[in-house]
Amino acid sequence: MGDEGFGAADGAELRRPDGRTGVVVGAVRAKTSFVGDISIGSVVIDGGGDRVGVPITDLVALHAGYPFVHPPGFKELRTGIAAGRIVVCAGPDGCGKESAATRALIDSGSPGVRAVPGGLGLDEIGRVIEALAEQGRDCVVSGLPEWSVKALCGPRGDHVLAVTRSRGLRVVVTTTAEPDPAWRRRFTVAELDYPEARAVSAAYLRTTGASPTAHTLTADVLNELELPVRPAVVAAVVTEAIKGSRDTQAIVREYSTTSYVDALTAWLGEGRSPREIALLAAGTTLSGADCVAVNEQAEVLARMLRGPSTVVREKRFVAGTSWPETFLRPATGRVGTHFGVLTTDLVEVCPPYRPNELLQSLWLTLGPDFRQSYVRWLRTLAGRRKLRWHAAYSAGGLFSLDPVVAEEEILRPWANSRQAWDRRCAGMALGTPVAMGADATASRRLANAWATGPSPHLNHAAVAAYGGVLGAWDDSTIAPMQLYRIARRVPPLATEVHWTMANLVVSGADAIHARTCTLAYLETTSRGQREARTVYAMLPALFDSLLSPATVCVESLQALRSEPSNWHRLCTLVGTALTTPPGAKSGRACLTAVTEAIALGHVDHSFASELIRGTKEACRPLGSVSRLGDALRRTLTPLTRSPSGDTRSVATALMTQFFAGS
């Protein structure tokens, strides 16, 4: 691919799902374990000269499945809402501000509560609030950074205040920032904290009807975890206890937040050689990678570290220095190659340590000489195909710890690079805070700035961000909207947007929030005649991913088939595509892909039967069932003459099943 390319030559890699489910911690997954119905609507606003639908979540339905425990400060929150003013709900990340705000609004008689995505720009947030006011809906603006709340205290907030007063709308803004005195003069401020972990666990255990053994295991784990414990972590612990597949210590190791600085300080002792430091840093950064590649990269980093240094102390060089056994260990794993799946030697971080937390401790423990050399080395890894994901994930871990330095010295050079994979690494890095269960506010704001800016390179980085872990696992709903807007505004990026949009649907069985948001946004947006063309162009990539034999895709498809609302949305998209001229080509491509996937054994025949029946039901209210039948015939008839005998057999069987009497 040329330097300025946007992915045409990298299609094979783009087809790989990038939700990266393996790096997502249990506490993040647990957020989807107890949620109620994910109901996604939209409001249309004028954004950058183009009318665009903004996905809006029904928070009452979303939080219906959560057992609710009043957090400290809830009384003040409810009092502020009753006063009819804009309320700023401040508190530490993960303490349950959105669910508390939703419950307080319900208690005050709200006719409905909608979530305004906090990752939008402030002007767009204002327009969404105005649109919701027309519908008479109260709203929660989740995860505003400090500077946005400050801006609301100035002239930019006057319009929002005027709308809320004239319409009787109640707005709650949640933030992790420390409340400023100016906020209290302008708004009501309620400060929340973590609810008591034992009360939260008792509520979850009652909801699930867990066994006495699960109760005991949950209590034992909570006794050993450092307080405070986030509600999402409590939910994850309860889930683990109900499964009963791991003992107390294994669960504690998974969710412990103990710093590794003391262990590193002890290991450093009186000094370590550059190679020893490099082995630890490279092994931590590339945990799970081939040991030969890690050794090679450790030597590169060691050369950068050598020389005058106040951080590392030179010792006699010994060839083949072993891995620091305290933190790293050899392992074996299976890797895919163009000549088959092979077993190879790997290096990985030892339990109970975790790669990103260990890297953060290295960053804190060692001085600027290490940091400068490490950053220069890390940036080069984006050019190594088998190592670039490790580099992006590690860069995101540093961004979570030290956002100013990491953005300036790693993410910004990558995002502005002429090399496409540098830009993709910058985007993928923004998902690490989400995967770690850390505060993702900075990631959301930076991704939005890249997506809405004029630079095609930054737009490209945003595509990688919204199509990766950030889009798949953050509880914001704007990833599909941002990807759609970029596809419309930057045509050279459209193909890559199609694949990354598909990634959101196949990020794993438990990534239901991303799957629902994406399919709901596509189905809603396709109702507009002009917008439908962009949506239909995305469908072939979506089906290519859904029908892939990759494990995460198979699991995602199985989950999708068991979700009635999402299955109906998918069938509606295919049905409307097949029965309208702008979507006919894409619809035929989807059905052809299904037929060929059955022939290859990737899915069973029942999938095609269910899909065709579902499209028929979706087309019935539109009066387009006959057009659907004609489109199915035009698609399947040529396939009955396919050179592939298996494809011919599948197509013939479908024709017999649905058109036997005609």
Three-state DSSP string of 507-528: CCCCCHHHHHHHHHHHHHHCCC
Is the CB of residue 374 less than 8 Å from the CB of residue 321?
no
At residue 416, the pLDDT reads 97
Residue written as tokens 């006794």? 223
Residue written as tokens 């791991």? 246
At residue 21, the pLDDT reads 57
Give Cβ neighbours of residue 594 (< 8 Å, ≥ 6 apart).
543, 547, 603, 607, 608, 611
Burial tier of 303 (Cβ tally within 10 Å: 0-12, 13-18, 19+)? middle
DSSP secondary structure letter of residue 620:
G
At residue 249, the pLDDT reads 87
Buried/exposed code over 267-287 (b: 16+ C-beta within 10 A; e: otherwise): bbeeebbbbbbbbbbbbbbbb
Start-to-end CA distance of the chain, whole Å, equals: 50
User: Cα 120–42–80 angle (5° rounding)?
Assistant: 65
Dist. CA 303–CA 296, nearest whole Å: 11
At residue 35, the pLDDT reads 58
At residue 5, the pLDDT reads 47
At residue 10, the pLDDT reads 43
Name beta bridge partners: 342: 335
Q: Which residues of the chain have pLDDT under 50?
A: 1-19, 308-320
Dist. CA 390–CA 397, nearest whole Å: 11
At residue 47, the pLDDT reads 56
At residue 49, the pLDDT reads 55
- pTM higher than 0.75, yes or no? yes
Is the CB of residue 526 less than 8 Å from the CB of residue 535?
yes
At residue 233, the pLDDT reads 87
- DSSP, collapsed to helix, strand or coil, labels residue 324 as coil
Dist. CA 76–CA 428, nearest whole Å: 39
At residue 513, the pLDDT reads 86
- DSSP, collapsed to helix, strand or coil, labels residue 426 as helix
